[in-house]
Amino acid sequence: MVGSLVATALWAMVPAYVPNNAAVLAGGGRPIDGGRMLGDSRLLGDGKTWRGTAVGTLVGVALALVLNAINAPVSASLAFSLPTFPIHAALGLALGAMLGDIGASFIKRRSGRERGAAFPGLDQLDFVVGALLLAFVVAPDWFLATFTLPVLAVIFVITPVLHVGTNIIAYALGVKNEPW
C-alpha cells in the first residue's frame, strides 16, 4: 500500500524532477532576463537561461515518453498500474517545474538574494508546486486521477529529501556550484 503510493508518486514526478537537474548540466548562454534589472536587482539572474530551460523541458517530456513505453511490463511486475503520461500532461509537469524554479529566482532577487543564494523551503519545493500547478491547468482530469491526496502527501514528503540528496551529489561531482 505505502509501497504502491511511493512508486506511483516517484513515477508520476520523474518528468518534474529531472528537468532542473538537466538544466544544471545544459545551462549557459543567454539569460532569460537578458540582463534586465528590476529596481536594484536582476529580474531573474544569470542562473536562468533559455538553453537550460529548453533542454530541461525537453528532457522531462522525453523521459515521460520513455516511462510510457516501459509502463506495461513494469506495472505488470509490480502488480499495480503506474500512471501513463498524455503528452500535454508531460509538458505541463516538465515546463511547470522549470517555471516554478524561475518563479523562485524572481522571488529570491526581490528579497535581495544573489544568484546561488539558498532559500530553504523555496529551493526544495518551487519546482514541485510549478509542475503540479501547470499539470493541473493543462490536464485537469489526468491530474485528479493521478495525484490523489495520499500521492500528493507522499510527494511533499519525499521531494525535499530527493532534492537535497541529488544536489549534494551534483555539488560533489563538481557540476553544481552550491550544494542546494
Residue 8 or 105 with smaller CB distance to ligand CTP: 105
Site for ligand CTP in 6-25 (CB under 6 A): 23-24
Residue 52 or 130 with smaller CB distance to ligand CTP: 52
Site for ligand CTP in 108-147 (CB under 6 A): 108, 115-117
- The three state secondary structure string of the chain is CHHHHHHHHHHHHHHHHHHHHHHHHHCCCCECCCCCEECCEECCCCCCEHHHHHHHHHHHHHHHHHHHHHHHHHHHHHCCCCCCCCHHHHHHHHHHHHHHHHHHHHHHHHCCCCCCCCCCCHHHHHHHHHHHHHHHHHCHHHHHHHCCHHHHHHHHHHHHHHHHHHHHHHHHCCCCCCCC
Site for ligand CTP in 74-103 (CB under 6 A): 98, 101-102
**Residue 52, interface with ligand CTP (CB under 6 A)?**
yes
Residue 84 or 124 with smaller CB distance to ligand CTP: 124
Residue 56 or 83 with smaller CB distance to ligand CTP: 56
Tell me which residues touch ligand CTP (CB under 6 A). Answer: 23-24, 27, 45, 47-49, 52-53, 98, 101-102, 105, 108, 115-117
